[in-house]
Amino acid sequence: MHIRFFRTLLFAFVMLCMSAAAFARIGVVITVAPPPLPVYEQPICPGDGYLWTPGYWAWGDDFDDYYWVPGTWIMAPEVGFLWTPGYWGWGGDSFVFYDGYWGPQIGFYGGINYGFGYFGVGFQGGRWDNGHFFYNRAVMNVNVTNIHNVYNTTVNTTVVNRVSYNGGNGGLTARPTAAEEAAAHERHVGPVAAQTQHMQEARSNPEQRASRNEGKPPVAATARPGEFKGNDVVKASEAGGHYTPAANRGGNGAAARPEDNAARPTPGHVRDLPPAEHVTAPSSGDAKVDKKNQQQLDKQYAQQQKERQKLQQQQEKEDQKVAKQNNDAQKQKVEQQHQQQTQQLQQRHQQQTQQMQQRMAPAAKPEGGGRPR
């Protein structure tokens, strides 16, 4: 009880010091990136007035692992309110989860492509009109026999990858627009009780943990919150990408933490960076185009590796030089320079790769009767 009270006070204090857009959970240091978003179908809408809330990876600090909170249909707390999903973001030394909220406008959710109307910016799955929510049948799985307030607007979206976080190594680089920041400052409320109970149900199910399901949760989506069994439960058809537990995880899937629970420092040298990912070109259906795209990606990867090696050699030479000087002030200055150089190189390479992937991405094709994910 005392710990919970302290966290509540601490959270309230931090909220006074930061933008309403940064609606983040605090108190846990997480240095392992969340798995990619799994692939799954949307269960049919259970009734008029239900709004879709996408699934996401949450963190269980009592068992040190990510667990999947299934996407589900929720009754909006107020007429006119829409759901802005939460998202993970790199905070410089650890990953932070920014809570979702209900409000009259959609805010920033990290540029994460959750599918089903939430394609990284805004919401294209429906709209409020004269006190009623109208569903976009091109995106939402709605039974028109039971729900008549529908429309059909084609949505063009391309899934370049299934990355589930913003910033950091391999994360998305989206930043909030002025309109998204304004939405966060409007009147809004946090998750309703049904969403909290839904999350707790997922948390208590060991099969939902990433170390057990390897990024492919058995319950990926549900028709109603908290209902994890029955015909309306949808399992993931596949993981969103190759899931590899962090090298520092123990046999029980627990993430090892720095001594005294302190955050690990950001990479200070190029040698501290994880190996660069050699990206595969997205399939376009044309073998010649795919081959050309892969050659471009291979060329870019080779150039990036060359740049990494060059900067690493430079940093090591400077480290050797400053070590001979026995000057702590100069050593600290060089270390700061190296950290900045490393971060800039990492961010530049991430942006280059993402931009090339976006240019190569094929046009999206509607799935399941014209409902693109």
- The answer to whether residue 128 scores a pLDDT higher than 80 is yes
Report the pLDDT value the prediction gives residue 319, as an integer from 0 to 100. Answer: 83
Share of the chain above pLDDT 90, in %: 44
- The answer to whether residue 6 scores a pLDDT higher than 70 is no
Same domain? 184 vs 78: yes
Q: Let me know if residue 351 belongs to a domain.
A: yes
The better pLDDT of the pair 368, 351 is held by: 351
Q: Let me know if residue 74 belongs to a domain.
A: yes
**Residue 358 to residue 365: CA distance in whole angstroms:** 16
Written as one letter, the residue type at 354 is Q
Window from 152-166, 250-264, 330-344 with minimum mean pLDDT = 250-264
Same domain? 156 vs 293: no
Q: Let me know if residue 245 belongs to a domain.
A: no
Please provide the DSSP assignment of 253-316 as one string. -PBP--GGGPPPPPP-SGGGSPPPP-PPPPP-S-HHHHHHHHHHHHHHHHHHHHHHHHHHHHHH
Closest CA to 168 of 307, 305, 31, 262: 31
Same domain? 226 vs 305: no
Q: Let me know if residue 319 belongs to a domain.
A: yes
Same domain? 148 vs 72: yes
Report the pLDDT value the prediction gives residue 132, as an integer from 0 to 100. Answer: 94
Same domain? 68 vs 192: yes
Average pLDDT over the chain reads: 81
Same domain? 26 vs 167: yes
Q: Let me know if residue 106 belongs to a domain.
A: yes
Report the pLDDT value the prediction gives residue 333, as an integer from 0 to 100. Answer: 84
- Residue 300: which domain range? 268-360
At residue 247, the 3 state secondary structure works out as coil
Written as one letter, the residue type at 18 is M
Give the residues across from 260 on adjacent strands. Answer: none
- The answer to whether residue 159 scores a pLDDT higher than 70 is no
pLDDT one-digit tens code per residue, 32-79: 899 999 999 999 999 999 999 999 999 998 888 999 999 999 999 999
Same domain? 228 vs 295: no
* Buried b or exposed e, range 20-54, using 16+ CB within 10 angstroms: ebbbbbeeebbbbbbbbbbbbbbbbbbeeebbbbb
Of the ranges 2-11, 18-27, 151-160, the best mean pLDDT one:
151-160
DSSP letter at 269 equals: S
The length of the chain in residues reads 373
DSSP letter at 207 equals: G
Same domain? 50 vs 188: yes
Report the pLDDT value the prediction gives residue 312, as an integer from 0 to 100. Answer: 86
Number of structural domains the chain divides into: 2
Give the residues across from 39 on adjacent strands. Answer: 238
**Residue 168 to residue 353: CA distance in whole angstroms:** 14
- The answer to whether residue 372 scores a pLDDT higher than 50 is no
Q: What is the CA radius of gyration of the chain?
A: 22
Token pair of 326 as six digits: 């026995």
- Residue 192: CB atoms within 10 A of its CB come to 17
**Residue 368 to residue 373: CA distance in whole angstroms:** 9
Same domain? 196 vs 272: no
Report the pLDDT value the prediction gives residue 133, as an integer from 0 to 100. Answer: 96
Query: Count H helices, E strands: the chain?
Result: 6, 16
What number is the average pLDDT over the span 191-202?
94
Q: Identify the band that residue 158 occupies on the pLDDT scale cut at 50, 70 and 90.
A: low
Token pair of 360 as six digits: 């190569």
Report the pLDDT value the prediction gives residue 187, as an integer from 0 to 100. Answer: 86
- The answer to whether residue 197 scores a pLDDT higher than 60 is yes
Report the pLDDT value the prediction gives residue 131, as an integer from 0 to 100. Answer: 92
Same domain? 55 vs 122: yes
Alpha-carbon torsion (283, 286, 288, 292), positive or negative = negative
| Residue that finishes a domain, picked among 234, 252, 278 | 234
Same domain? 153 vs 68: yes
Q: Let me know if residue 367 belongs to a domain.
A: no
| Residue that finishes a domain, picked among 183, 211, 234 | 234
Report the pLDDT value the prediction gives residue 12, as an integer from 0 to 100. Answer: 42
Report the pLDDT value the prediction gives residue 8, as an integer from 0 to 100. Answer: 42
pLDDT one-digit tens code per residue, 274-308: 767 677 777 777 888 888 888 888 898 889 889 98
CB under 8 Å to 13, separation ≥6 — which residues?
none
Q: Let me know if residue 72 belongs to a domain.
A: yes
- The answer to whether residue 256 scores a pLDDT higher than 60 is no
Alpha-carbon torsion (298, 299, 301, 305), positive or negative = positive
Window from 41-45, 194-198, 325-329, 340-344 with minimum mean pLDDT = 325-329
Same domain? 203 vs 304: no
| Triad 281, 356, 269: Cα angle to 5° | 100
Report the pLDDT value the prediction gives residue 265, as an integer from 0 to 100. Answer: 43
Distances (CA, A) of 104 to 101, 114, 135, 220, 324: 10, 20, 16, 27, 61
| Residue that finishes a domain, picked among 234, 254, 285 | 234
- The answer to whether residue 339 scores a pLDDT higher than 90 is no
Greatest Cα pair distance in the chain: 79
Report whether 32 contacts 215 (CB < 8 A): no
Q: Let me know if residue 133 belongs to a domain.
A: yes
**Residue 329 to residue 341: CA distance in whole angstroms:** 19
Tell me the HSE value of 65 on the side-chain side, using a 13 A CA sphere.
26
State the angle between helix axes of 287-325 and 328-360 in degrees (0 to 180), rounded to the nearest 10.
Answer: 180
Q: Identify the band that residue 255 occupies on the pLDDT scale cut at 50, 70 and 90.
A: very low
